[in-house]
């Protein structure tokens, strides 16, 4: 193994990750590159009760759970005041889900149940029928069924054991779809494809690929994030067939030169499209260590005078490594940058500081993203 490759492996092991992303990230299907405007999932939410808990539900200080139980009992002809109910087998929960596009009435979806009170566990509980509403307040379905929490718990307050999170559960296929929202994805004989990562070059290439498939002037790049497609006469009554024809088409995706830095984890991701101008990088470490040793002086045994004295002895040690200068020529590529930083023996924090300094000096021809 050559010295350069050995240094590269060492750099990866210490936590500096260089991910080579080509300037053109390769061919991507239209299906994986775009979304169809007008087609989106609908978030659903509801408030309900989970019953059947083994004294792990909401306690007395959670007032809305007892009021909810009183309201539910009143609908069954049992009238009781909410402040007179003392239950521990019921928990108030929020039910959330997402209605996929093109769902049909009578279909089923998974729902997530989360405690909103002070319940200790939803283990063994059953969700009572809960209406699911969309952002506009319309009811689109109902959820109910036994919970699956993927864990368990036992014991009391003093001695207990819990595996996984016990106050959030899931009801597989627990949501029954009743009303499906209307979605219109074609207007005036046009479809609009939205790019998930807007880019002028990618949008233009997407329009060119569709024009080759459907004919000239069939598609047009409106902006970096959207491409409009005219629906041919043969597909006016069958837009689904048109999308099935367009989705497998391959598009060469163009991505910007970018350096992503995560200072919390010490991760650096450098795209292969990154180019450097002429620059010189010097690397050196300065460390200062201060140690304190306490010396105790005390009088001899049975002496009549004298006090015990504590005398701190401080020692300061300064170490500075020799700075090494690496010159980077104009047009330096990712491989040259990796090799140079390996020669410097740079740590993750050193790489982050070097990248920021190169950007400030105007030598880094890429977008610097810090997350």
Q: What is the mean pLDDT of residues 16-25?
A: 39
Given its phi and psi angles, is residue 155 left (phi above 0), alpha (psi -120 to 50 degrees) or beta?
A: left
Beta strands 258-262 and 367-370: pairing type? parallel
Top-confidence range, 158-162, 186-190, 297-301, 329-333:
186-190
pLDDT score of 342:
67
30, 282 in Cβ contact below 8 A?
no
Q: Please check the confidence at residue 20 and state whether its pLDDT lies above 50.
A: no
Q: pLDDT tier at 362 (50, 70, 90 boundaries)?
A: confident
Contacts of 310 by beta carbon, 8 Å cutoff, 6+ apart: 294, 295, 296, 297
Best CA proximity match to 129, nearest among 168, 71, 176, 181: 176
> How many Å apart are CA 366 and CA 270, to the nearest integer?
9
Average pLDDT over residues 355-360: 79
CA distance 248 to 224: 21
**Total residues belonging to the chain:** 371
List the chain domain ranges: 3-23+258-300+308-370, 26-39+184-253, 43-177
Q: Where are the alpha helices (DSSP H) in the chain?
A: 3-13, 30-33, 63-75, 200-214, 239-246, 334-344, 348-360
- Do residues 239 and 248 touch, judged by C-beta distance below 8 A? no
pLDDT tens per residue, range 180-189: 887 777 778 8
pLDDT, residue 49, reads 92
Q: What whole-number percentage of the chain has pLDDT above 90?
A: 27
3-class secondary-structure state, position 311: strand
- CB of 130 closer than 8 Å to CB of 142: yes
For residues 68 and 91, give the distance between their C-alpha atoms in angstroms, rounded to a whole number. Answer: 10
Mutual angle of helices 348-360 and 334-344, in 10-degree steps: 130
User: Does the domain made of 26-39+184-253 have the CATH classification 3.30.420?
Assistant: no
Angstrom CA distances, 86 to 11, 57, 62, 78, 297, stand at: 61, 11, 11, 15, 67
């Amino acid at each position: 193994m050559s010295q350069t490759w050995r240094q590269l492996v060492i750099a990866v092991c210490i936590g500096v990750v260089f991910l080579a992303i080509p300037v053109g990230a390769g061919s991507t299907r239209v299906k994986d590159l775009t979304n169809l405007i007008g087609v989106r999932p609908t978030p659903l939410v509801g408030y309900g009760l989970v019953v059947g808990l083994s004294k792990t539900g909401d306690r007395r200080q959670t007032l809305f759970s007892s009021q909810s139980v009183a309201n539910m009992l009143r609908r069954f002809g049992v009238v009781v005041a909410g402040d007179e109910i003392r239950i521990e087998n019921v928990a108030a929960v929020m039910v959330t889900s997402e209605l996929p596009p093109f769902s049909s009435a009578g279909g089923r979806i998974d729902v997530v149940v989360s405690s909103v009170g002070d319940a200790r566990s939803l283990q063994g509980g059953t969700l009572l029928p809960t209406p699911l509403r969309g952002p506009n307040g319309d009811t689109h379905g109902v959820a109910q069924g036994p919970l699956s929490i993927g864990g368990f718990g036992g014991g009391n307050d003093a001695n207990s054991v819990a595996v996984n999170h016990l106050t959030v559960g899931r009801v597989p296929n627990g949501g029954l779809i009743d009303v499906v929202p209307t979605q219109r994805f074609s207007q005036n004989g046009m479809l609009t494809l939205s790019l998930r990562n807007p880019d002028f070059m990618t949008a233009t290439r997407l329009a060119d690929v569709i024009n080759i498939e459907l004919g000239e002037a069939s598609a047009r790049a409106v902006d970096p994030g959207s491409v409009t497609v005219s629906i041919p006469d043969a597909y006016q009554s069958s837009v689904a067939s048109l999308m099935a024809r367009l989705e497998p088409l391959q598009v060469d995706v163009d991505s910007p030169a970018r350096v992503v830095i995560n200072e919390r984890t010490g991760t650096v991701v450098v795209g292969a499209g990154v180019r450097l101008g002429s620059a010189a990088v010097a690397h050196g470490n300065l460390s200062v260590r201060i140690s304190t040793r306490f010396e105790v002086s005390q009088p001899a045994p049975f002496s009549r005078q004298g006090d015990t004295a504590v005398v701190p002895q401080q020692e300061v040690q300064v170490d500075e490594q020799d700075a090494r200068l690496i010159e980077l020529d104009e047009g330096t590529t990712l491989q040259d940058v990796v090799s140079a930083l390996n020669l410097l023996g740079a740590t993750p924090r050193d790489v982050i500081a070097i990248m920021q300094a190169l950007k400030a000096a105007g030598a880094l021809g890429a977008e610097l993203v810090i997350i």
